[in-house]
Structure 1
Amino acid sequence: MKAAVLKQIGDDELDVRTDAAVVAPGPDEVHVRIRAAGICHSDVSAMNGTLPALAPGVMGHEGAGEVLAVGEQVTDLAPGDHVTITFVPPCGKCRECLHGQAHLCAVHTIAAFTSPRFEVGTEPTFGFAGCGTFAEELVLPRDGAIKIDPDVPFEVGALLGCGVLTGVGAVLNTAQVEPGSTVAVIGCGGVGISVIQGARLAGATEIVAVDPVTQKHDAAKRFGATHATTPDGFDELKQELTGGAGFDYAIEVVGLAATIRSAYDATRRGGTVVIVGAGGEDQKVEFTAQELFINERKILPSFYGSADPRRDIDRMLRFWRAGRLDLEGMVSRRLALSDINDGLAALQGGDAALVRQIVTFD
């Protein structure tokens, strides 16, 4: 089968191989044929070493497909079922899962770094984040396959695996944005657009999209932003909308020290700063003890939108069915697996026309 393989950390391109194979599914695992996979910036971050990954490894962590086979202990999925892939499968038994923090479950995450999921040629090969959705098939824990109705398009199901759950979840789960609030969103890529949609769902009255690429501003407004600006105009807009006091919520979706600091500075006293962007270890943000004490702004990191995929994927689909969450509109480009490097190059190049690219396997 075909798979896009990262040969070593630091490579700019993936090697599209035709001699890949999946490991045999264990008793509590499922074998899935991937039908659609999203290209997420986290894939690029893993390739360049910003996020942890193992090489050689099949990249991709956002996808949907149909079940081909299940292990003997899997009783609630069957061949032919449609599923969304989650890269943070909750085990349901650990301390985090039992305390309502399923997104912090590390049971399957640890296994992903110790158990190769593929074989390419004769070499054991890992799946990025325990997945590897840039492959025609994969095997993963049953907990990592969330059943969806067969009428849900596979590309819609793929978006739910990471970007949408991360962005909307940051608003509804992590920040718990209140109706009538003012929200600033720093970064208008695929996850930023999902944050904007989440703020609209939460009933925010002013939603300000901040991005240096002006071509992204129209898309931000199409998905729910009431205003859009470059970083240079951000302070002026803050003055206009809040009288200089600052926004109730500022949600950062870039992962740079400068944008995290900008989010903090844009928030009112007593407001909430949410950090969604996945930054590297070199991105260090400084605050004085005095400003933290005086301002009492809450700083909330948001990993995977603080989501429980067992609950929240269904919730996103209900928003989608009600016409309140535009998922089809987020798909900017479809491409074959053989063109994966073109998609990665467009993402790294900051193509302003892209919200989300989808690899299709039909």
Structure 2
Amino acid sequence: MAKAAILEQPGQGLVMGDVELADPGPHEVLIDTKACGLCHSDLHFIEGSYPHPLPAIPGHEAAGVVRAVGSEVKTVKPGDHVVSCLSAFCGHCEFCVTGRMALCLGGDTRRSGDAGPRIRRADGSPVNQMLNLSAFCEQMLIHEHACVSIDKDMPLDRAAILGCAVTTGAGTIFNACSVVPGESVAVIGCGGVGLAAINAAKIAGAGQVIAVDPVPEKRELAMVLGATHAVDAMAPDAAQQIMAISKGGVHHAIEAVGRQASADLSVACLRRGGTATILGMMPLDCKVGLGALDLLSGKKLQGAIMGMNHFPVDLPRLVDFYLRGLLDLDTIIAERIPLERINDGFEKMKSGHSARSVVVFD
């Protein structure tokens, strides 16, 4: 049996309970979870903003140690340290074979209906696996293409946040935007994803890195992580400030919050030919647009799910960046908490004043 934080009803927080995980199928990996970051995407499900079959175990930004593997698993072995990733890939669909693995719908990475559920309660009733991971649990049973082996020198609490926040933020800089040294970057929203994007923009050699957030503490964190300038997102002239700092607008504006106003701001601060990239999970009725003059100016708007990562390649590189002192994960982590305090961690997230909370398992 494994202890887990279970979502029974939206809006009522998570409930501690015991679950049982199945034996690994042919391509499955059983992992002892060691750490899991709290992500705003989890909160969207917990609060009911995004629907999901219940009961379910959230959590998707995790690291752990492989306990057992299925008969066909080739990529990891028992004892390996691994990071999980929610963008599990099949390896043979149109998106995978054209190098856009993050767009894979991953149908083949889920269990078939006749194989039985991966997670059950003690009474045998199934518990839904969220995003094919369900990492707010002492163990995970996932497809081998949902995790990657990493250097054992990497601390697992830091490794966990690579699985979503850093893969999304840094991946956007390196993959979706292909930032060229000297280009200007504005990052709107300085939570875990935004701070990772700022740190990656510094690594990529961006000329200006402008951090945009309403919270002074987060703007200060952004400066530690490599921002060259900081702007209050709530200032009525925020767009004009960014335009002035960047001398006519930024090459890349990255929205890392999931709010209509911040998405609109990302478009408003572009220079001619610039690109706005939306990372945040916005309310489902939101739309972001380019006007006629924006289009005539060659401006572009894109989404970038999970930073358009190639995570079997990207994640070990991010680990290497950390071990070489280039990637600052220590500043992004605000606190480490036990699983029992997970609801407190999400309440702290709602206040918006700190960066990443990480659940650590003994």
TM-score, length-scaled by structure 2: 0.94
Q: Is residue 3–residue 136 contact of structure 1 (8 Å, CA) maintained in 2? A: yes
1:84-143 residue CA offsets vs partner (Å, 9 max, x unmatched): 111112221111111000111112488379774311233201121010110001111111
Deviation, 1:286, is 4.3
Give the aligned partner of residue 237 of structure 1. Answer: 241
Tell me how many residue pairs correspond in the alignment.
356
Aligned positions of 1:258-297 closer than 5 A? 258-288=261-291, 290-297=292-299
Deviation by residue 1:171-225 (Cα, 9 ceiling, x = unmatched): 1100111111111110000100001011111111111111111221110100011
Kindly tell me: are residues 65 and 239 of structure 1, through their superposed partners in 2, closer, same or farther at Cα, counting changes over 3 Å?
closer
Question: Aligned partner of 1:260: which letter?
Answer: A
Judge which range, 279-288 or 150-159, deviates more. Answer: 279-288
Q: Which amino acid aligns with 1:280?
A: P
- Is the 1:60–1:132 contact (alpha carbons within 8 Å) kept by the matching residues of 2? yes
- The match for 1:42 is 41
1:1-362 correspondence runs (5 A):
1-8=2-9, 10-17=10-17, 19-108=18-107, 111=110, 116-122=117-123, 123-231=125-233, 232=235, 233-243=237-247, 245-288=248-291, 290-350=292-352, 352=353, 354-362=354-362
- Check conservation: 2:57, 2:130, Cα contact below 8 A: yes
Contact 2:63/2:157 (8 A) holds in 1:
yes
- Secondary structure of the structure 2 residue equivalent to 1:328: coil
**Would the alpha carbon gap of residues 286 and 96 (structure 1) be closer, same or farther in structure 2, given more than 3 Å must change?**
closer
1:150: Cα distance to partner?
1.6
CA RMSD of the aligned region, Å? 1.8
Find the aligned partners of 1:250 and 1:104 in 2 and give their Cα distance. 22
Distance in 2 (CA, whole Å) between partners of 1:324 and 1:47 is: 34
Residues 108 and 159 of structure 1, relative CA distance in 2, 3 Å threshold: farther
Equivalent AA in structure 1 for residue 242 of structure 2: K
The 1-side partners of 2:21 and 2:100 are apart by 30
- Tell me if the contact between 1:66 and 1:79 (Cα under 8 Å) persists in the aligned partners: yes
- Mark the runs of 5 or more structure 2 residues left unpaired by the alignment: none
User: CA offset at residue 329 of structure 1?
Assistant: 2.4
* Per-residue Cα deviation, 1:17-46 (whole angstroms, up to 9, x for no partner): 1x2111221111011100111111110012
For 2:184 and 2:131, how far apart are their aligned partners in 1?
34
Q: Sequence identity of aligned pairs in percent? A: 36
> 1:272 corresponds to which letter in structure 2?
T
8 Å CA contact 2:109, 2:143 repeated in 1: no
SS in structure 2 of the partner of residue 162 of structure 1: helix
Find the aligned partners of 1:265 and 1:183 in 2 and give their Cα distance: 13
Runs of 4+ in 1 over 6 A off after TM superposition: 112-115
